[in-house]
């Protein structure tokens, strides 16, 4: 649709010329495997495999799956905090991946090496200051993610709309904004405020091709306007859907629980138990505030088509004299 002038030409399309829409599907641990990434790229967005804590052989499997399902470019999101980070990156490079969205670590640690291997590197930041540090570290683009977003989150509670205005005019590289984008009108607002593209997680978690467990998808459909909370600020802040597990965390936090105590309650593997295995009581259900807009579980193609149509409607409304 870029070709029919739906979208303004901008720095995102210069960086990812084969992408039709300025829409990135965020990497999502346990939710965005090769099937989702390929479906998004086939629908004209940029799909990302969320490597999360995957063992390198599982990541290799997802990359090969995506390659079997699409001829379009896709990328891999690697949070730079697991012990297998280096192996994950090497595995992806060996499989021919040349688009990396790194997060949760320093942009300085792996960017020069990835770039020397011919990769395009985008890093996720949660404040304008961090975004500028990413630019200094030599990344090709920045994802700036607001407090509304699902998954792990910044401590500073800066919202997407405020971030857009704080960073406006300060970045010389493409800006991809994330957090709370659930409609084409929101994409229009982001582009109007200087973003080159958007990154969407929550709405793609609720698609047919996502690997979120059907129970988790049903919980997304049932979620209301105030169903998510930012928890675990003393450990790693994360936005969660309300459930018995997140309620336990709230009670402990209200009693000023220490980081050690919170870590004990959290235990290991809860995100997998909740999001992939579908335990709605004991699992960690990472999702963003915009989950309230999830009213169906469409295909990625249908979701992107609707985002593009809604963007057009918003533009028409604004241009009407
Ligand atoms: C279920 C879930 C898991 C996520 N896991 C990751 C992850 O592994 N790495 C990462 O960089 N971001 C992760 N995110 C954040 C997304 O990539 C994206 O930036 C965010 O969801 C955008 O905000 P939105 O949820 O309001 O659309 C996750 C988000 C969700 C909803």
Tell me, in angstroms, the distance from the centre of ligand 1 to residue 27's CA: 6
Q: What is the mean pLDDT of residues 41-60?
A: 97
Region 293-299 average pLDDT: 98
Say if ligand 1 is within 6 A of residue 177 CB. no
The answer to whether residue 3 scores a pLDDT higher than 50 is no
| 178 Cβ closer than 6 Å to some ligand 1 atom | yes
Reply yes or no on whether the pLDDT at 5 is more than 80: no
User: In the chain, where are the structural domains located?
Assistant: 2-211+293-313, 214-290
Q: Where are the alpha helices (DSSP H) in 78-222?
A: 85-94, 107-116, 128-136, 160-167, 184-192, 202-205, 214-222
pLDDT in tens, 238-288: 999 999 999 999 999 999 999 999 999 999 999 999 999 999 999 999 999
pLDDT tens-digit map of 87-121: 999 999 999 999 999 999 999 999 999 999 999 99
Closest ligand 1 atom to the C-alpha of 286? Answer: 1
Q: Which residue has the higher pLDDT, 140 or 4?
A: 140
284 lines ligand 1 (CB under 6 A): no
Q: What pLDDT does 321 receive?
A: 60
Q: Where are the beta strands (DSSP E) in the chain?
A: 23-25, 48-50, 75-79, 99-103, 120-125, 141-145, 151-152, 175-178, 197-200, 228-231, 238-241
Identify the pLDDT of residue 320.
Answer: 78
Neighbours of 32 (CB within 10 A): 30
| 26, 131, 159, 283: residue to mutate for ligand 1 pocket, most atoms within 8 A of CB | 26
Indicate which residue's Cα is closest to atom 19 of ligand 1: 26
Q: Report the relative pairing of strands 238-241 and 228-231 from DSSP bridges.
A: antiparallel
Q: Kindly compute the dihedral angle of the four CA atoms of residues 27, 31, 35, 41, in this order, to the nearest 10 degrees.
A: -30
Class of domain 2-211+293-313: alpha beta
Tell me what pLDDT residue 260 has: 95
| pLDDT 10s digits, 164-215 | 999 999 999 999 999 999 999 999 999 999 999 999 999 999 999 999 999 9
The 3-state DSSP class for residue 90 equals helix
Q: What is the pLDDT of residue 2?
A: 47
Ligand 1: nearest atom to the Cα of 51: 8
């Amino acid at each position: 649709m870029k070709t029919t002038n739906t979208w303004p030409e901008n720095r995102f399309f210069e960086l990812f010329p084969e992408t039709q829409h300025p829409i990135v599907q965020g990497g999502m641990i346990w939710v965005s495997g090769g099937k989702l990434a390929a479906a998004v790229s086939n629908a004209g967005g940029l799909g990302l495999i969320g490597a999360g804590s995957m063992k390198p052989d599982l990541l290799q499997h997802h990359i090969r799956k995506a390659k079997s399902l699409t001829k379009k470019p896709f990328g891999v999101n690697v949070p730079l905090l697991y012990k297998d980070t280096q192996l994950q990156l090497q595995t992806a490079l060996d499989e021919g991946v040349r688009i990396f969205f790194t997060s949760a670590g320093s942009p300085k640690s792996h960017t020069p090496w990835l770039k020397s291997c011919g990769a395009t590197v985008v890093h996720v930041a949660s404040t304008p200051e961090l975004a500028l540090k990413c630019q200094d570290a030599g990344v090709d683009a920045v994802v700036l993610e607001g407090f509304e977003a699902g998954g792990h989150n910044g401590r500073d509670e800066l919202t997407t709309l405020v971030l857009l205005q704080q960073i406006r005019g300060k970045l010389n590289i493409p800006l991809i904004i994330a957090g709370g984008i659930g409609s084409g009108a929101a994409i229009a607002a982001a582009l109007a405020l200087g973003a080159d593209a958007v990154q969407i997680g929550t709405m793609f978690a609720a698609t047919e091709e996502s690997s979120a467990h059907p129970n988790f998808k049903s919980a997304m459909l049932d979620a209301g306007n105030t169903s998510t909370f930012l928890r675990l600020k003393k450990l790693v802040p994360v936005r969660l859907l309300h459930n018995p597990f997140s309620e336990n965390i709230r009670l402990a936090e209200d009693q000023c629980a220490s980081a050690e105590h919170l870590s004990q309650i959290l235990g290991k593997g809860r995100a997998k138990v909740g999001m992939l295995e579908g335990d709605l009581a004991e699992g960690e259900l990472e999702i963003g505030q915009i989950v309230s807009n999830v009213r169906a579980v469409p295909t990625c193609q249908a979701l992107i088509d609707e985002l593009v149509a809604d963007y057009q409607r918003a533009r028409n409304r604004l241009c009407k004299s």
